[in-house]
Structure 1
Amino acid sequence: MASKSAAAKSQTHLPTEKELLAMPESDYMNDIQLAFFRNRLKELEQEILTNAGTTTENLRETQFVPDPADRATIEEEHALELRTRDRERKLLKKVQQSITRIDSGDYGWCEETGEPIGIPRLLARPTATLSLEAQERREMRQKLYGD
Structure 2
Amino acid sequence: MSRLFTHAFAGQGFLNFIGNEFGHPDWVELPSPSNNDNYQFARRQFHLADNQQMRYKYLNRFDRAINKTEERFGWLKSNQAVVTRTHKGDKVMVFERAGLVFVFNFHPTKSYSDYKIPVRQCGSYKIMLDTDDNCFGGHSRNQANV
Q: Shared topology, TM-score over 0.5? A: no
TM-score (norm 2): 0.29
Which of 1 and 2 has higher RCO (CA within 8 Å, sep 6+)?
A: 1
What TM-score does the superposition give when structure 1 sets the normalisation length? 0.29
